[in-house]
Amino acid sequence: MKKNHLKTWGLCIFALLGTATAAAQGVPSMHNIGGQQYPLVNPDNTVTFRVKAPGAKSVQIVLDKPYEMKKDTAGLWLYTSTPQVPGFHYYSVQVGGLQFADPATYTYFGMSRMASAFEIPEAKADGDYYKPQKGVAQGALRSRRFYSEVCGEYRRMYVYTPPGYEQDKAKRYPVLYLQHGGGEDERGWPNQGNMAYIMDNLIAAGKVQPMIVVMNCGYAVFAGQPIPEQQPNARSSMDAFVAFTDMMVKDVIPLVDKTYRTLSDREHRAMAGLSWGGKQTLDTTLGHPELFSAVGCFSAALPMREGTDINTLYNGIFKDAEAFNKQFKLFWLGIGSEEGPGAAMMNKALTEKGIRSMLYTSPGTAHEWLTWRRCLKEFAPLLFK
């Protein structure tokens, strides 16, 4: 056998071993398109990204900020991040100042545009609740188009119906209205939040009463008004949400009660939301106590500051603790431990006043989907008891 052949085979074997070693150091992110190795989640929770752009002069990976990638001789750009906390993370590729989704991953509407994502898994025992489990019956997730008279347009909502909904045609169910945050839309909870798996698993474990869950787009303006542009990576204008409560009360709730087998009284209707959706939840429920009996705020945009008088908020609904406790069976606040003090401040002010308020703190998480998945897991079992 010629020496040059041996050398060639040796290089091939070395390359294969090198590839196997690199793969053994990490696993492809669960949000990669089938067959794509990168982004690669490493055992130390760092993430390695790879982008093929042989003609580019500079490529960045955008996480909390842009990070420079390094180019190899094959035109592949590589970057390994610092360790990332468990949970769902948005990211983008940037070339020439333009940010776009990585072709190697599925895309999600977040940051007011389509973006890529990677996932740092929780410890197995902690993270199974938002994943499909063998032998657990699955509910149905429906995409529903409807016309909003308030907004003067066709819109879309997602409706989760629990396992058994199709089999027992006589049974009626309570309803949870569940909202996304700013920069996202009605796809947030079904896709990023894995809400259907969370509900399926909780129902199968007997921890949650089977219920219908309705998820709407929080962006809503009155008919004839221009829709404010969503600015990528920025907070959206409040003008983009002005018609939301009217749309919910006049269009969505009547349609849901007419279309699905709901228990249509306020005792069996709840609402929850994350971030800006938490603010929308408070505006809607506290503005219409005749319609709702339970409220959940996940990292909500709260009007709490040092010195805020709780009696002045939401048209004075907190002034009479006894009346509030009769109206609302559950008032629940959830927050990540790495977030601000607003939720704790509000809970303290309410409990000192005699209002039944509950506070949950998600350990080690910030303003992110892992916080909100945990919030749903903790909040849903308390509903409709």
Contact 354, 327 (CB under 8 A): no
Checking phi first, is residue 175 left (phi over 0); if not, alpha (psi -120 to 50) or beta? beta
Whole-angstrom Cα distance, residue 354 to residue 335? 21
Query: Residue 335: its pLDDT value, please?
Result: 97
Q: What is the DSSP string of 179-246?
A: E--TT--TTIIIIIS-HHHHHHHHHHTT-S---EEEEE-S----TTSPPPPPPTTSPPPGGGGTTHHH
| H or E, element range at 154 | strand 153-161
Cβ contacts of 96-100, under 8 Å, gap ≥ 24: 96/56, 96/58, 99/62, 99/232, 99/233
Query: Class of the 27-121 domain?
Result: mainly beta
pLDDT along the chain (385 residues), means of 10: 44 37 73 95 97 96 97 95 94 96 96 93 83 95 97 97 96 98 95 98 97 97 84 63 96 98 98 96 97 97 89 95 97 96 95 97 94 98 96
List for the chain the helix, strand, coil content (%; round to 5).
30, 25, 45
Query: Residue 232: its pLDDT value, please?
Result: 62
Q: 47 CB contacts (<8 Å, ≥6 apart)?
A: 29, 39, 40, 41, 80, 81, 84, 118, 120
Contact 221, 244 (CB under 8 A): no
Query: Residue 69: its pLDDT value, please?
Result: 98
Query: Residue 111: its pLDDT value, please?
Result: 86
Q: What is the DSSP string of 6-73?
A: HHHHHHHHHHHHHHHHHHHT-EE-TTBPTT---SEE-TTS-EEEEEE-TT-S--EEESSSEEE-EE-T
Q: What pTM did the predictor assign?
A: 0.90
> What does the domain layout of the chain look like in residue ranges?
27-121, 137-382
Which among 121, 126, 297, 129 has a CA at the least distance from the CA of 203?
Answer: 129
Q: What residues does 158 pair with on adjacent strands?
A: 143, 215
Contact 298, 272 (CB under 8 A): yes
Angle at 26 between CA 338 and CA 375, to 5 degrees: 30
Whole-angstrom Cα distance, residue 128 to residue 380? 17
160 φ, ψ to 5°? -95, 125
Checking phi first, is residue 130 left (phi over 0); if not, alpha (psi -120 to 50) or beta? alpha
Query: Residue 231: its pLDDT value, please?
Result: 62
The reply to whether domains 27-121 and 137-382 share a CATH topology is: no
Instruction: State whether residue 370 is helix, strand or coil.
Output: helix
Q: What is the CATH number assigned to the segment(s) 137-382?
A: 3.40.50.1820
